[in-house]
Amino acid sequence: PPMTAPPPPIREYDVAARTTDVFGRVLCNVRTHHFIVDGPVQNGCPGEELTPPELFLSSVAACGVELVQVIARDSNVSIGMAHVTVHGVVDRSRQARQDVTVFNSVSMDFTVTGTDGASAAALVEAFKRR
Q: Find all residues with CB under 8 Å of 96, minimum gap 6, and list them.
A: 102
DSSP 44: T
Helix count (H) and strand count (E) of the chain? 2, 5
Q: Find all residues with CB under 8 Å of 127, minimum gap 6, and list them.
A: 64, 67, 68, 71, 110
Q: Can you say how many angstroms the Cα of residue 95 is from the centroid of all Cα atoms in its chain?
A: 21
Neighbouring-strand partners of residue 35: 28
**What pLDDT is attached to residue 8?**
87
Q: What is the pLDDT of residues 77-113, one digit of tens each?
A: 999 999 999 999 999 999 998 999 999 999 999 999 9
Q: Would the pLDDT of 1 be above 70? A: no
Q: What is the pLDDT of residues 6-62, one digit of tens each?
A: 888 999 999 999 999 999 999 999 999 999 999 999 999 999 999 999 999 999 999
**What pLDDT is attached to residue 4?**
86
Of the candidates 66, 65, 43, 47, the residue with the CA atom closest to the CA atom of residue 55: 47
Q: Find all residues with CB under 8 Å of 69, minimum gap 6, and list them.
A: 79, 82
